[in-house]
Chains A and B, each alone.
Chain A
Amino acid sequence: MPLDPSFIGRSWPPTEPYLVGREKIREFARAIGATDAEYHDPEAARAIGYADVVAPPTFPVVITMTSSRQIIDDPALGLDYSRVVHGDQKFAYTRPVVAGDALVCVNSVDEITSRGGHDFLTTRTEVTTADGEPVVTVWSKLVQRGEDH
């Protein structure tokens, strides 16, 4: 069944703030093998102008993957997650995520299309501080493979 096109252009209420922990950034950096001092050592991060350790570029997905369940778990959308693969991913940064940030996500559906029996869903998440300061915008395109593919 195709995805419900009435979701295109919809936005969801802001999520509860996600408090970014220093140890979570360190754990993520270790998991991707990133040893830069600014990811691990608050003093090194302060030396380049940040209040605490900074997160690697793809860290925001830790927050947005959870927040976007607002969209993809809605039964009305009609997404069968067992047939979903990750198509595209994009980040546009105002600044890196920094330990101590309280980050709020506003999710939207930018696009729903079908091609060759597959359905494509592009979500956009505006990640800001709880005070509304922009941090990063995250786009994900999910591909729901056709049942016969």
Chain B
Amino acid sequence: MSDTLEPQTFRITRADLVRYAGASGDFNTIHWSDRVAKSVGLPGVIAHGMFTMALVGRAVTTWAGAPDSVVEYSVRFSRPVPVPDTDEGTEVVVTATVKGTTDEGHTKLALTATCQGEKVLSMAQATIRKR
């Protein structure tokens, strides 16, 4: 595994948010109603933080090459991900840098997630197990 991993891009549309709401049980109104999102000071509907974290998790398991490889995974939601009501929606770009090896031989990754050029996560990291 090289030190900087190949970035991965994920497209997010309103349909994705509807599907994630149903699958996760998170029906918070700010993830589907522009009216309510704007009333609380947001630019409009935003993605569930946990949906963004799930997409970054996909990137991590793809880099690791195994779906059961994650030992630890943490993020801070530093900025919302607005999802316009368009066919294109928006995009989140995920990058990772290898930060070293733990005493157990696991690999530590420092992660970033960017939407419209702004970082939407901070202190995002994952520890993955060697198979």
CB atoms of B24 and A28 under 8 A apart: yes
Q: Which of A80-88, A100-108, A122-130 interfaces with chain B?
A: A80-88
CB atoms of A91 and B73 under 8 A apart: yes
- Expressed in whole angstroms, the Cα–Cα distance for A54 and B98 within the complex equals 26
Interface mask (A89-122 → B, CB under 8 Å = 1, otherwise 0):
1111101100000000000000000000000000
Chain A interface residue count, Cβ-Cβ cutoff 8 angstroms:
33
Q: Which residues of B contact A65 (CB under 8 A)?
A: 24-26
Chain B residues in the interface with A (C-beta under 8 A): 10, 16, 19-20, 22-26, 40, 49-51, 53-55, 57-58, 60-61, 66-68, 70-77, 123
Chain A residues in the interface with B (C-beta under 8 A): 27-28, 30-34, 36, 38-39, 48, 50, 54, 56-58, 61-62, 65-66, 82, 85-93, 95-96, 139
Known pairs A54-B68, A96-B68. 17 more at Cβ < 8 A?
Answer: A30-B19, A31-B16, A31-B22, A32-B20, A32-B57, A33-B16, A48-B68, A50-B68, A56-B58, A56-B67, A57-B54, A57-B60, A58-B57, A61-B50, A89-B49, A93-B72, A95-B68
User: Please, could you name 17 A-B residue pairs with CB atoms under 8 Å apart, sorted by A?
Assistant: A27-B22, A28-B23, A31-B16, A33-B58, A38-B68, A39-B67, A48-B66, A56-B58, A57-B57, A58-B57, A62-B25, A89-B50, A89-B74, A89-B75, A93-B70, A96-B67, A139-B74
